[in-house]
Amino acid sequence: MSSSANGNNSNNGRVTWEGCSVLLDINDGDRLVFARLSPAAKLKIGNKNCSLQPLIGTPFGSLFELDGTSLSPLIPSPQADATNNEEIKEDGQPNAESRDNRELVDNNTAQTLTGEDIEAMRRQGAGGNEIIEALIANSATYDKKTAFSQEKYRRKKQKKYAPKVLLRRPVARSICEAYFKKYPSKIGFLRVDTLSLLLSMANVSANSDILVVDMISGLLTGAVAERLGGTGFVCNSYLGQSPYSMDIVRIFNFSDEICKRIVRCPIADLLSSKESPEQTLQVADVNDACNVESQSNDPMGATANTDEISHSPGNGISDLGTENAENENIPVIRACKATKAGEKAPQETIDSWKENGFSSLLIAAPEMDIWPLVRDVLPLLSNSAPFAIYHQYLQPLATCMHNLQLAKMAIGLQISEPWLREYQVLPSRTHPSMQMSAFGGYILTGTKICSSSC
Amino acid sequence: MLAIDPAKKLSFNRLISNGDLVIVYERHDNMKAVTVSEGSVLQNRFGVFKHSEWIGKPFGSKVFSNKGGFVYLLAPTPELWTLVLSHRTQILYIADISFVIMYLEVVPGCLVLESGTGSGSLTTSLARAVAPMGHVHTFDFHEQRAGSARDDFERTGLSSLISVRVRDIQGEGFPSEFAGLADAVFLDLPQPWLAIPSAAKMLKQDGTLCSFSPCVEQVQRSCETLQNCFTDIRTFEVLLRTYEVKEGKMENLNGDNNDSNGSLPCKRRQRSDGSYAPDTSVSSVMARPCGEARGHTGYLTFARLKCL
């Protein structure tokens, strides 16, 4: 039951600990920050530097409010919720609202409280909520607003004067959503529903060996490793000599068992001596011994991956909000772990892949011409293995699909484009959200078949 | 279907043996689940296929009938199973299934509750996601349906990951033995709001719930009930648009070449005005959305149990 939990934690990763990675959702997604919790970690909200210390040891899903200069847990009061509902619901009948905005004149004179007044209140130690009440009391138009716009007004002021921080678990879903919302180019514009489809179509499941080409900063690698839960292998492969960035993998709170299952390998090494497996097997064994030896000279973990860390931006807090610059000097204690994700794949494992084939293939290489890559790596799969390829453009996938058909390398080929629409659901006011993501990428899926020789 | 036992991983490279479940692939829209049995035959429009000839071949092989027709034999996956299982109820399809697994944050080791079981389409994918050490408890009030689902999970080799029980979850709620233990709850019920209070009791703190409903009125009522104990309530619709790919010859207009020519390789008739004659035709690969698609499956409403 503890596979998804960090080694330090017995509660299935549902309570934070020191050194744990978290996603901080500030004011309902206005700002999203990945942070590592430590007593010294600080986060700037508005113009205040808040310690993240109070978040350590609290359950994921907890809500905090910035009260003065410190974050304190906010217990949702059922009372407040109930009154809100009543006001809006009015016995489930369509709202018998008599007020409307016919009298509303937008001339910026409605608020009598000035900036200096608010500053003065602050100096006297007024909390955020007191300021909000004062603003409402001094608004000439508040009482004339409809219940909905009163609510909206209150929310807007709350964001400014009493910001809320929601503590979210950094898992494939939340990480993908956060990047898609704030920094989509880093993950190749891969939307969460598309990611979910990739994982399903490639049959990512425990004890499988998944070949991955991940040029989206490690999101795909991390999502696969999450599904493997410390079994099987995710082989993060790359063209050329230098591995692709896996920054995002470190945002997940992976246990050592899961990290061990994320390995790296150049595609060239997987393809080498593939042509005549019988003959080269012995040679490979010899190489194998040498490699194992040379590898054991490397101190595991600590120094082996320093280059990878230096690729990462900043210091462990990655702010996906608009106020990017402000967190530059935040000290963050990174938990020293014995095992790092992304060790070089051991030679015997590579040999086993060459012999048995990978159980599936996943590619997210949004900038790359797909067909030559697929042509080369598809033979590395075992027969009947499914594959799923992501691309942000249709044409490379269409060409790839056509060529796979001509070469009779795969069946069940299909290009699909997921479509995701969110709804506002409120009594008598249910409709699709006004804004939606119009595009989450294309995927090509299929199943590898035996080459004509077998 | 799944490599639950690590010793049996890379099972795709295993050869087909007597008693194996294989997916017989004719076309992308025509597949069938068959249990290999030495003396049996498969008969379809391509002729008669002897199972005995399949045994010993690798999965992914092309096999031939007495008339020279052929099919492919694939290893079963939850995705293929969803396409071939017998529909005892309306089932969930791949786009919804994938999204549900991801959004419920189901990972290996999770305990998941589901009602109703229906045809077991989602259950199969849930089992894959919780494997190897998690478990799916699925409930259906229809005794025969539950029995058939149990048989299916036996056939697909998932019975160690799934327990099927007969129970009216809307009427009785989930069994109290799971109180506070579930990582995720999935509801596909006609009146999900009746089961939501019980689901809340089953979930761990910050645990996730999903309710699938085809009608917006159901969503409306579910969301009202969810307000009490849940937060982060979000409703989605997820669909797939599929594309067809063709290599086509496109006429290349060439203004220099004005005289008509009757020996064009392409089939298109010549233009009557003759001002621009197609000169060369270039072959290119083109894609367009398929003309028909599933327009609605259901609304997916997600929520998290409030932290108190």
Which region holds residue B234: left if phi is over 0, alpha if psi is between -120 and 50, else beta? beta
Nearest Cα neighbor of B224 from B271, B265, B191, B270 is B191
Q: Which of B4, B109, B241 sits opposite A229 (nearest CB)?
A: B109
CA angle A358, A364, A370 (to 5 degrees): 85
Q: Which of B97, B103, B206 sits opposite A14 (nearest CB)?
A: B206
Retrieve residue B210's tokens. Answer: 């999903």
Contact flag A226-B107 (C-beta cutoff 8 Å): yes
Backbone φ and ψ for B40, nearest 5 degrees, come out as -85, 165
The CA distance from B208 to B210, in Å, is: 7
Retrieve residue A165's tokens. Answer: 């921080």
CATH of domain B6-76: 3.10.330.20
* Contact between A41 and A317 (Cβ < 8 Å): yes
3-state DSSP call for residue B196? helix
Nearest Cα neighbor of B80 from B24, B12, B149 is B24
The CA distance from A238 to A233, in Å, is: 16
Contact flag A384-B25 (C-beta cutoff 8 Å): no
Q: Which of B13, B132, B245 sits opposite A415 (nearest CB)?
A: B245
CATH 3.10.330.20 fits A1-92+113-170, yes or no: yes
Disruptive mutation site among A210, A384, A420, A422 for chain B (greatest number of B CBs within 10 Å): A384
In chain A, whose CA is at the least distance from the CA of B102?
A: A196
Write the CA distances from A446 to A14, A262, A366, B63, integer angstroms.
Answer: 37, 24, 19, 19
Candidates 1.25.40.340, 3.40.50.150, 1.10.630.10, 1.10.760.10; CATH matching A172-301+338-448:
3.40.50.150
Residue type, A124: Q
Retrieve residue B64's tokens. Answer: 């031939």
Per-residue confidence in pLDDT tens, chain B, 308 aa:
877 665 555 445 678 999 999 999 998 889 999 999 999 999 999 999 999 999 999 999 999 999 999 999 999 999 999 999 988 888 889 999 999 999 999 999 999 999 999 999 999 999 999 999 999 999 999 999 999 999 999 999 999 999 999 999 999 999 999 999 999 999 999 999 999 999 999 999 999 999 999 999 999 999 999 999 999 999 999 999 999 999 988 777 765 555 555 455 544 444 555 555 555 677 889 999 999 888 999 999 999 998 77
Disruptive mutation site among B72, B100, B107 for chain A (greatest number of A CBs within 10 Å): B107
Retrieve residue A122's tokens. Answer: 């602050």
3-state DSSP call for residue A151? helix
Contact flag B219-A423 (C-beta cutoff 8 Å): yes
Per-residue confidence in pLDDT tens, chain A, 454 aa:
333 334 444 456 789 999 999 999 999 888 999 999 999 999 988 888 889 999 999 999 999 988 777 888 887 655 444 444 444 444 444 455 667 777 777 777 778 778 888 888 877 777 777 788 888 887 877 877 777 788 888 888 887 778 899 999 999 999 999 999 999 999 999 999 999 999 999 999 999 999 999 999 999 999 999 999 999 999 999 999 999 999 999 999 999 999 999 999 999 999 986 544 444 333 333 333 333 333 333 333 333 222 222 233 344 566 665 444 334 333 333 444 445 888 899 999 999 999 889 999 999 998 888 999 999 999 999 999 999 999 999 999 999 999 999 999 999 999 999 999 999 999 989 999 999 999 999 999 999 998 765 5
Cis-peptide into B132, omega within 30 deg: yes
Please name the residues in contact with B259: beta carbons below 8 A apart, sequence gap of 6 or more.
Answer: B277
- Say if strands A343-344 and A318-319 run parallel, antiparallel, or are unpaired: unpaired
Q: Each residue of B66-97: pLDDT tens digit? A: 999 999 999 999 999 999 998 888 888 999 99
Nearest Cα neighbor of A195 from A440, A446, A454, A450 is A440
Handedness of CA A8, A10, A15, A21 (dihedral sign): positive
The CA distance from A267 to B182, in Å, is: 41
Determine how many CB atoms are found less than 10 A away from the CB of residue B230. 22
H/E element, A35: strand A31-36
Please name the residues in contact with B280: beta carbons below 8 A apart, sequence gap of 6 or more.
Answer: B252, B254
Domain spans of chain B?
6-76, 80-238+296-305
* Contact between A232 and A206 (Cβ < 8 Å): yes
CATH 3.30.420.40 fits B80-238+296-305, yes or no: no
Cis-peptide into B157, omega within 30 deg: no
Beta bridge partners of B211: B187, B301
Contact flag B238-A386 (C-beta cutoff 8 Å): no
Backbone φ and ψ for B16, nearest 5 degrees, come out as -65, 130
ipTM of the complex: 0.90
The CA distance from A412 to B289, in Å, is: 17
The CA distance from A56 to A67, in Å, is: 17
CATH 3.40.50.150 domain residues, chain A: 172-301+338-448
3-state DSSP call for residue A119? helix
Please name the residues in contact with A99: beta carbons below 8 A apart, sequence gap of 6 or more.
Answer: A144, A145, A146, A147
The CA distance from B306 to A77, in Å, is: 11
Determine how many CB atoms are found less than 10 A away from the CB of residue A281. 14
CATH 3.10.330.20 domain residues, chain A: 1-92+113-170
